[in-house]
Amino acid sequence: MANYEWKPEYSVGHSMLDAQHQKLFAICDEIEHLDDTTVGFSDDFQRLLEELIGYVSTHFVDEEKILEKLNYPDIKVQQKEHSHYLNDLSAILFEAEKGKLNLPALKVFASSWISTHVFTHDIAFKEFLLANT
Ligand SMILES: [Fe+2]
């Protein structure tokens, strides 16, 4: 089981985005440690899914606004990935509303957003932000 603890070396060179990433890492860490055999699982799943959707939506909008304002050359990659992740979360929410709590899909989201998106695509704009803000 992975531990999604945010570390200073994961900084993307922007204090607000780093703070948002820290919060999202903490939510993802809770998701990673969810166990669907435990008492209270359903409540925890719903709470974390709602928190994740709320924070992710705000974060993606903020991140895109900052990159857009600075004319970041790879903004399209960010927008495409963000919309892909939001679609994934919408699908999980849609299932949850019908009573299917898809924990594997939620864990895949957490792992993919951190290891594929943050560690590659977000880290990629660090030098750009440090040079342009
Ligand atoms: Fe991003």
pLDDT in tens, 80-115: 999 999 999 999 999 999 999 999 999 999 999 999
Q: Quick check: is 11 in a domain?
A: no
pLDDT band at 133 (very low <50, low <70, confident <90, very high): confident
pLDDT band at 2 (very low <50, low <70, confident <90, very high): confident
Residue 98 C-alpha to ligand 1 middle, in angstroms? 29
Q: Quick check: is 98 in a domain?
A: yes
Number of domains in the chain: 1
Q: Quick check: is 17 in a domain?
A: no
Q: Which residues span the domain enclosing 72?
A: 24-32+40-132
Per-residue pLDDT at 1: 76
CA distances from 117 to 39, 52, 70, 95 (A): 32, 15, 20, 24
Residue 77 C-alpha to ligand 1 middle, in angstroms? 9
Q: Quick check: is 19 in a domain?
A: no
Per-chain mean pLDDT for the chain: 96
